[in-house]
């Protein structure tokens, strides 16, 4: 069975993609800077990888013809890191790359992910471009989870809606794209509904049996808070740009792609919260 290179393998999405590929009977080479987080099995081979170290490319790409490509999060320099890797992939015999971009990245030609998209589309390689919305997992184990622990979600989203999606559903689409050779497709991936952060807070409150509030913050407040938390300035600006898109309504649309590609409806936020109730209860106890 073919082996697929999965970049970002130790992240939330990378781990979900590995599981989905194994379910489709693919083997996986799991590329990550944190190889100890990946269990070596007869079907999963961890490999040390860093976009900024071209000396690691060859071992990752050896005898690989298909790649799941993920950019480092909130990184304006992502094109400078991924484009050389795309070039090397083509030189070593890769024929197909599934690139994980982001919802509405194609609305701005200066968006770093859009720059990568366009380069990949012109590279001569077969490609599939996936543009998922904000991950539901941000609430259970990501950057919003400490806010839930404190009882208040604060983001600069106003009353705008977002069609949050679980990484499980994204991973299901990724695996199908490899299995079905969905070359040349560009797909926006969303959950089944579009919710305000206030509605999300109410869903979490109902599931956890305690009140979680949503209090909108301004962009300036978010920037100040992020600086106090030590977030790099470039990442702060990137995140501010994402919430500009949220407030402009660019993250509100829903699509039927998950159902069309996988044959199953995407997970609702209520279902996601029920599945992750243990994390909620741990925070409640804390």
Question: Where exactly are the structural domains of the chain?
Answer: 3-133+166-190+252-266
- pLDDT tens digits in sequence order for the chain, 286 residues long: 799 999 999 999 999 999 999 999 999 999 999 999 898 999 999 999 999 999 999 999 999 999 999 999 999 999 999 999 999 999 999 999 999 999 999 999 999 999 999 999 999 999 999 999 999 999 998 889 999 989 999 999 999 999 999 999 999 999 999 999 999 999 999 999 999 999 999 999 999 889 999 999 999 999 998 899 888 999 999 999 999 999 999 999 999 999 999 999 999 999 999 998 776 654 444 4
End-to-end C-alpha distance for the chain, whole angstroms? 46
**Which run of H or E residues covers position 271?**
helix 269-275
Cβ(175)–Cβ(26) below 8 Å: yes
Cβ(79)–Cβ(85) below 8 Å: no
Rounded to the nearest angstrom, the gap between the alpha carbon of residue 46 and the centroid of all alpha carbons in its chain is: 20
pTM for this entry: 0.95
CA distances from residue 35 to 44, 93, 105 in whole angstroms, order as listed: 11, 24, 30
Residue identified by tokens 């407040």 is 221
Write out the DSSP string of 87-134: HHHHHTT--EEEEE--TTGGG-TTSHHHHHHHHHHTSSSEEEEEEE--
Burial class (CB in 10 A: 0-12, 13-18, 19+), 230: exposed
**What is the assigned CATH class of domain 3-133+166-190+252-266?**
alpha beta
Q: What's the helix, strand, coil split of the chain in %, to 5?
A: 45, 15, 35
Cβ(98)–Cβ(69) below 8 Å: yes
Using DSSP bridges, classify how beta strands 161-162 and 195-196 pair: parallel, antiparallel or unpaired: antiparallel
Number of alpha carbons in the 13 Å side-chain half-sphere of residue 107: 14
Cβ(258)–Cβ(266) below 8 Å: yes
CB atoms within 10 A of CB 12: 20
Cβ(105)–Cβ(121) below 8 Å: no
Which phi and psi angles does 91 have, rounded to 5°? -70, -30
For the chain, the residue count is 286
């Amino acid at each position: 069975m073919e082996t697929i290179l999965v970049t970002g393998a130790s992240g939330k999405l990378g781990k979900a993609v590995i599981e989905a590929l194994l379910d489709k009977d693919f083997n996986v080479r799991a590329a990550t800077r944190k190889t100890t987080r990946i269990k070596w099995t007869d079907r999963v081979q961890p490999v040390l990888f860093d976009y900024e170290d071209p000396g690691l490319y060859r071992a990752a790409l050896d005898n690989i013809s298909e790649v799941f490509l993920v950019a480092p999060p909130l990184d304006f320099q992502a094109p400078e890191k991924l484009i050389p890797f795309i070039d090397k992939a083509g030189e070593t015999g890769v024929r197909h790359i599934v690139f994980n971009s982001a919802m509405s990245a194609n609305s701005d030609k200066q968006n770093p992910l859009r720059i990568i998209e366009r380069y990949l589309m012109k590279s001569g390689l077969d490609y599939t471009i996936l543009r998922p919305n904000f991950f539901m997992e941000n609430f259970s184990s990501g950057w919003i989870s400490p806010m839930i622990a404190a009882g208040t979600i604060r983001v600069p989203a106003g009353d705008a809606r977002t069609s949050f999606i679980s990484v499980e559903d994204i991973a299901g689409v990724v695996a199908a794209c490899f299995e079905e050779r969905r070359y040349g497709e560009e797909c926006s991936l969303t959950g089944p509904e579009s919710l305000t952060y206030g509605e999300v807070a109410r869903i979490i409150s109902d599931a956890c049996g305690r009140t979680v509030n949503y209090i909108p913050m301004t962009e300036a407040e978010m920037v100040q808070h992020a600086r106090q938390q030590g977030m790099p300035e470039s990442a702060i600006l990137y995140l501010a740009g994402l919430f500009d898109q949220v407030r402009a309504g660019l993250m509100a649309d829903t699509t039927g792609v998950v159902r069309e590609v996988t044959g199953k409806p995407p997970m609702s936020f209520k279902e996601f919260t029920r599945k992750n109730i243990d994390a909620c209860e741990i925070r409640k106890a804390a």
